[in-house]
Structure 1
């Protein structure tokens, strides 16, 4: 099943016509014939009826959905698979209203499904970039003056949150929400995500200046209308910002600071798997589903 290529919704429905076919696919992806207990990875596992297993050391029962985004869900796996397909294949994402209509579920259920799916996108945050790397910061969010009168924040000019992005030419992008754009904050994140052997390209923002001590750092001066100087430019990362902001404004309309990183991770996942087939991207996601969040945790605060 894993090697089967499905590049459309019709192919996906044909590949997974039943709940059991979805379970079999998940078991092969997660365990490949060697079932591991989520309660004790060293424990012997007994095979029980109804796709259940028993952990010998803890005495607990589990299945392939335990401790994943599918845990304790009442929505059938076929709809989950379709939802994941729609989220990962749509370049700018999909709203909970549209997903609810497509899957014939309530908007509340679709929002919770999307939120659980987003918990699993941040799989490249710990990788490092090399060669030619572009770095740039942007601000995402709305302005305080556009809020309703009863929702305005006193002493605040806007509700924008800074995000730092780093992209390796012809490679991956890393994007992280940051508390501010000071030298200390930017340098910590760049040193964590970019190897010292890389060539670093940024604009002339003062917080990047001291990075010359570590990197072969070159600058384009946007304030002087200089956008490309040979191989030095930040057009690649700015192209990613364009995708992110068009998706948030056009599809989601709004995202709070609390959940912003999850939306950023969603766009990072699609960008970093842009050369993969639809089936490969779908299976890559299913291999990273052990990041469950409850509804109460999600809405808290």
Structure 2
């Protein structure tokens, strides 16, 4: 499709999208690029609707807007501001907090925060491929210092399972991260099943849960952690994620942690395709069903 926006330049973005109509026409070119299909009756014949940015079914006369049945559906802010929110969120290497976004775009912080949930929902769909080859797996705890809580206590913290592809030469392939309920073998096993391919060669530390999983027949190599040195690629990601969470977003509630995890995973796994990242998210918006606020929150275990 011609006319797609590719790039990370704010100046180029401003030239491409000058007003709400520019944004709507861009969505129009994406929505019906493969031909018109009525969402009510399935008819493939449509004519101009009540505006040039609507299509009307020739059969049932249903008039559909360019944002109908997409993640843009029901968004009350102008499309131009929505586009700016998406561009600033996904094209900046480390992203932006909702407070910064609200200030730059000129909306309320709560509006920016809720719209970011839609963006993160689109990001989730691109982070689901299972990891292949040599994969390092470990767990970590996310949360501040808790006085009196020692070791793997989940009283004030949240457990996260992380897996990374080790492609050799000190380089990391894709990563996956998932909030887990506990460090029990069956819970970790379910997390590994959802993130790592069955034919992958898994390397872990000597935690007893991995010993149980190995006895069950999984291809697991257990090694001494050596303070993280034996799983160096993985522990680099743990450190980078925690620094990103504190540095960019400062804090997050445990119930929203998975949404931040998905954002970080998307950013890392898309690092080699950043010039097309904005357009990728717009496509996801246009091909996702509308969701209300409560449905945008990724289910996340709360350890209380």
TM class by shorter chain equals: 0.7 to 0.9
What does residue 270 of structure 1 align with?
A: 267
TM-fit CA distance, 1:104: 1.5
Separation (CA, whole Å) in 2 of partners of 1:226 and 1:264 = 21
TM-score (norm: length of structure 1)? 0.82
Q: Cα distance 1:265–1:100, how it changes in 2: closer, same or farther (>3 A)?
A: same
Cα separation, 1, equivalents of 2:84 and 2:156 = 34
Aligned-pair Cα RMSD in Å: 2.8
Calculate the TM-score normalised by the size of structure 2.
0.82
Query: Is residue 247 of structure 2 the alignment partner of residue 250 of structure 1?
Result: yes
**Structure 2 residue corresponding to 1:118, chosen from 108, 117, 120:** 120
Match of 1:134 among 129, 132, 136: 136
* Structure 2 CA distance for aligned equivalents of residues 181 and 130 of structure 1: 23
Per mean C-alpha deviation after superposition, the further-off stretch among 191-200 and 10-19 is 191-200
**Are residues 191 and 62 of structure 1, via their aligned partners in 2, closer, same or farther at CA, if it must alter by over 3 Å?**
same
What number of residue pairs does the alignment pair up? 283
Contact 1:165 1:175 in 2 (8 A): yes
Whole-angstrom distance in 2 between the partners of 1:298 and 1:191: 24
**Residue in structure 2 matched with residue 193 of structure 1 by the alignment:** 195
The answer to whether the 8 A contact 1:116-1:292 is kept is no
Question: Structure 2 unaligned runs (5+)?
Answer: 167-171, 298-304
Shift of 1:131: 0.8
Tell which deviates more after alignment, 179-188 or 193-202: 193-202
1:241-285 deviation digits (Å, cap 9, x = unpaired): 22321222122222122211111111111111000032x111111
Kept in 1: contact 2:127–2:265 (CA 8 A): no
Deviation at 1:78, TM superposition (A): 1.9
C-alpha separation in 2, matches of 1:92 and 1:180: 29
Structure 1 CA distance, aligned partners of 2:191 and 2:154? 26
Deviates more, 1:174-183 or 1:73-82: 73-82
Question: Paired residue for 2:14?
Answer: 13
Output the CA distance in 2 between the equivalents of 1:55 and 1:141: 52
Long gaps (5+) in structure 1:
147-155, 229-233
After TM superposition, give the deviation of residue 159 of structure 1 in Å. Answer: 2.7
| Pair 190,296 (structure 1): closer, same or farther in 2 beyond 3 Å | closer
